[in-house]
A and B are shown apart, each in its own frame.
Chain A
Amino acid sequence: MNRSNERQLIEAVQNGDKVAYGKLIRIHQKRLFRFIYGLLGSFDATEDIVQDSFVKAYNSIDKFNLEFAFYPWLATIAKNRAFNYMQREEKKESLDKVSEIGFNPIDPELGPLEQVIDSEGQKKFNEALQSMPMKYRSVFVLRHFERMDYAAIASYLKIPPGTVDSRIFRARQFLMDKLKDML
């Protein structure tokens, strides 16, 4: 979908067209889910946050500036919620602390996850990703899933660009080690 089509949809939503928002949901939900799942590693938490973020974005759609793309705005809403969720889960410790110690929730039920991650290769990759410390995983997800450059990641996570560089390097080494038989 090009920008002008998306802009038309958003304008329609701003004029009260809920069906147009349904189209936006279907366009962006998978990408958003992959991003948030990459950060959290919890299917249920990701599902809740994605749905909640779409609702929040809809309720704030009047404030959305049509000059910008919709997804980054939506992703920021979801990312903030994901970090809030992590903070709550880590007994309200600071985000930096969460980032340092990592966040590895244990998903008691993998049933729903199998709905969207069905192949063995996908499962193995996600297990490897979720076993990665949070400080590496967050930059890795932003770089590989969201295709953000280092400066944007630094700004997004409020860390120095040099730190982004080194963390991405460590994350790649980590995954190469875990998935060496697949490479």
Chain B
Amino acid sequence: MDHSYFKERISGYYDNNLPPYEQQSVEEHLKICEECQKLLAQFEKLDKLVEEKSQLSDTEYWEKSAQKIENAIGVDDSKVVDVSHKSYKGLFWKISAVAASVAILTFIGINQADIAPEAELKINQPPEVQVEKQRDVDNEKVVTEKTKELVETGKDTTSVQPTDNLPEKEKPIQKITLDTVVKKNEAGKGVVEKKLSVVAKSPRPMAVQSQNEEIQIEDEPKIELLSEQLEETIVQPASEPVTISKTSKSAQQFFADRLASTDKESKDNLDYLRKRKDSLRMIYTSYSQTVSKKLKASRSKSASESKIFNDSLRALTEKSLLDAYYKIGLNSDSDIEKSETIRFFENYISRKESFHNELARKYLDKFNK
């Protein structure tokens, strides 16, 4: 083969792209041909030169270019608001509205004394009108109202406390809040009270009529009613017997009924308790058989946290189940149910995992008696 044949293949040889037999023959030729050796060396130099000189400089251009592409795909859509397309069609109306507002305010300012001499006072110094109410607990019905001061002293009258010289009927009301509290009056009797605070947002006059035990709102203002405060406060039973005042006899009856209901259940309630007992029993059984075993087997932190959570649920379930069994056993005429109750209590007490062994024991003792 002549020299030109090999010369044309030096490039392919350099790129290791020749078939094996050609690769070998070029290699053999290179050993004896200086010109081809120089050519191969030139290719190597060119390769380095290309690599070096074709590199593009690190300049600000690349960051700007990247940002341009990012803008095209909307990377900053959420941050940048393009207002260029907005027209100024509404500008006339905006200017008109501002001008009109200024004119009205100026007019009011000039004629302030003639228009509403007291309105300013109402805005600057809104009187605090607070009305407290007592509620019939059974019927959830407002029956009386008292001012805060009078409730504290236990007097059964109604009044409104002004904080400035305005007539009573022109006091603006800003909001109404209603709180339920139990207090002792002078006679030492417990009184269930609902505190109603009425304060208006609007400077418009509103009349609060506090005639005896009713409240009427005339000329309805914008009233902000804090509904969450309408919820009854949960009152824990006092250690000493609480006597309900004469103004809430039905409340007294309510508590009496509640106390009586702990031991005596109507037939309907008994049926309900049986269903409740069955449901709780299923949950209790599933907890006892599966969940606790799995949790005992696991030692991980999350399993430990789950165990605490599940134990809380188990404790609640067991307490409810014990209550249900106790009430059923106590009120049922069936001997089977009574014996079932005793069996359940005995089994429950014997279990080490039970949360309320003491309670079960008390129930069992009481039941046996």
Contact = CB atoms under 8 A, between A and B. Distances in A.
Interface of A: 18-19, 21-22, 25-26, 29-30, 33-34, 38, 47, 50-51, 54-55, 58-59, 112, 115-119, 121-122, 124-126, 129, 143-145, 149-150, 165-166, 168-169, 172, 175-176, 179, 182-183
Given A22-B66, A166-B8, A169-B8, A58 B57 contact: no
Given A179-B46, A183-B49, A115 B59 contact: yes
B272 interface: no
Contacts of B56: 30, 33-34, 116-117
Interface string B49-74: 11111111101111101101110111
Contacts of A50: 65
B15 A22 contact: no
Contacts of A179: 46, 49
A175 B46 CA distance: 8
Contact of A116 (B11, B12, B45, B61): B61
Contacts of A121: 52-53
A25 B42 CA distance: 35
Contacts of A18: 70, 73-75
B17 interface: yes
Contacts of B335: none
B367 interface: no
B49 A182 contact: yes
A34 B12 contact: no
Q: 10 shortest A-B CB distances, which residue pairs?
A: A125-B53, A169-B11, A116-B56, A18-B75, A115-B61, A54-B69, A25-B66, A150-B17, A183-B45, A58-B73
Which of B8, B17, B60, B73 gathers most chain A CB within 10 Å?
Answer: B73
B65 A29 contact: yes
Contacts of A119: 53, 57
B80 to A, nearest CB: 13
A112 B177 CA distance: 72
Which of A33, A129, A168, A169 gathers most chain B CB within 10 Å?
Answer: A169
A86 to B, nearest CB: 20
Contact residues of B: prevailing secondary structure: helix
Which of B10, B70, B74 gathers most chain A CB within 10 Å?
Answer: B70
Given A116-B59, A117-B57, A55 B42 contact: no
B43 A34 contact: no
Nearest to B52: A121
Given A22-B75, A117-B56, A51 B65 contact: yes
A183 B39 CA distance: 12
A145 B56 CA distance: 12
Contact of A168 (B15, B60, B72, B73): B15
A178 B343 CA distance: 107
B43 A21 contact: no
A124 B52 CA distance: 12
Given A117-B57, A150-B15, 4 more contacts: A29-B66, A29-B69, A144-B54, A183-B42
B69 to A, nearest CB: 5
A47 to B, nearest CB: 7
A149 B10 CA distance: 16
A129 to B, nearest CB: 8
Contacts of B51: 144
A21 to B, nearest CB: 7
A38 B54 CA distance: 9
Nearest to B60: A115
A165 B54 contact: no
28 contacts: A19-B75, A21-B70, A21-B73, A22-B66, A25-B69, A33-B56, A33-B65, A34-B54, A34-B56, A51-B65, A55-B72, A55-B73, A115-B61, A116-B62, A119-B57, A121-B52, A121-B53, A122-B53, A122-B55, A122-B57, A125-B49, A125-B54, A126-B53, A144-B51, A149-B15, A149-B17, A175-B46, A175-B50
Nearest to A20: B75
B358 interface: no
A167 to B, nearest CB: 10
